[in-house]
Amino acid sequence: MKNRLLLVLLVPAIYVMSSCDDPKKAKNYNQETMVDQSSLNFIDTAIDGGRTEVRLANEAERISHNPQIIRFAKMMVTDHTKGIEELKALRKKELVNPDDVLSPEHKKLIDSLSKLSGTNFDKAYMHVMVADHERTADLFKEETQEREASVQAFARKTLPTIEMHLESAKAIDKTLK
């Protein structure tokens, strides 16, 4: 009887311990994700970048008086908010633990730009938008190559929007020089 009770108590514990190695159960046991480290880094980097774009765009809407920049900023808020929500859904689907904090470099960038005003802000903001979207386009192009299928699909679907943002940012930036 004692052995049977011990067996009854141990079987569920063994099941739980063995299921921790199953990535499909990772969400329940917080052990593993469904994606590789590179895809994890991509998701985190893309969310951090998207959040930064939204915050900078909010600053642009508040500070700038240039209608082109304000329209661009509104587009950034709309598109990047949508992208962040899609990435959060992907993160949840792929069992990635959230890290919802902006990187220190992005916090510093937002702080420094928000202290500017007028054409100084406009020029700095658009310069950052061009540089940031160039880096982001490269990141997304790399991610479309050989990653987890769901992450790769997101990168392929989103890349044209990023490239359109880059071209828009370049066009506006040229008018400010």
Residue boundaries of the structural domains of the chain: 1-32, 35-175
Angle made by CA atoms 51, 162, 60, in degrees to the nearest 5:
50
Residue at 112: amino acid letter: S
Which residues contact residue 90 at a Cβ distance below 8 angstroms, ignoring those fewer than 6 apart?
43, 96, 150, 151, 154
Q: Which residue shows structure tokens 């069992």? A: 95
- Of residues 132 and 177, more confidence is placed in 132
Summarize pLDDT for 46-68 with one digit per residue, the tens.
988 999 999 999 999 999 999 99
pLDDT value of residue 44: 82
pLDDT value of residue 32: 53
Summarize pLDDT for 117-174 with one digit per residue, the tens.
999 999 999 999 999 999 999 999 998 886 678 888 999 999 999 999 999 999 999 9
Summarize pLDDT for 105-121 with one digit per residue, the tens.
999 999 999 999 999 99
Which residues contact residue 92 at a Cβ distance below 8 angstroms, ignoring those fewer than 6 apart?
27
- Of residues 56 and 24, more confidence is placed in 56
Query: In angstroms, how far is CA 2 from the centroid of its own chain?
Result: 54
| pLDDT band at 34; cut points 50, 70, 90 | low
Residue at 172: amino acid letter: I
- Full-model pTM: 0.74
What is the rounded distance in angstroms from the CA atom of residue 72 to the CA atom of residue 75? 5
User: Quick one: tokens of 89?
Assistant: 């859904």
pLDDT value of residue 98: 60
| pLDDT band at 15; cut points 50, 70, 90 | very low
Phi, psi of 102 (to 5 degrees): -70, 145
| pLDDT band at 22; cut points 50, 70, 90 | very low
Q: Does the domain formed by 35-175 have CATH 1.20.1260.10?
A: yes
What is the rounded distance in angstroms from the CA atom of residue 8 to the CA atom of residue 158? 51
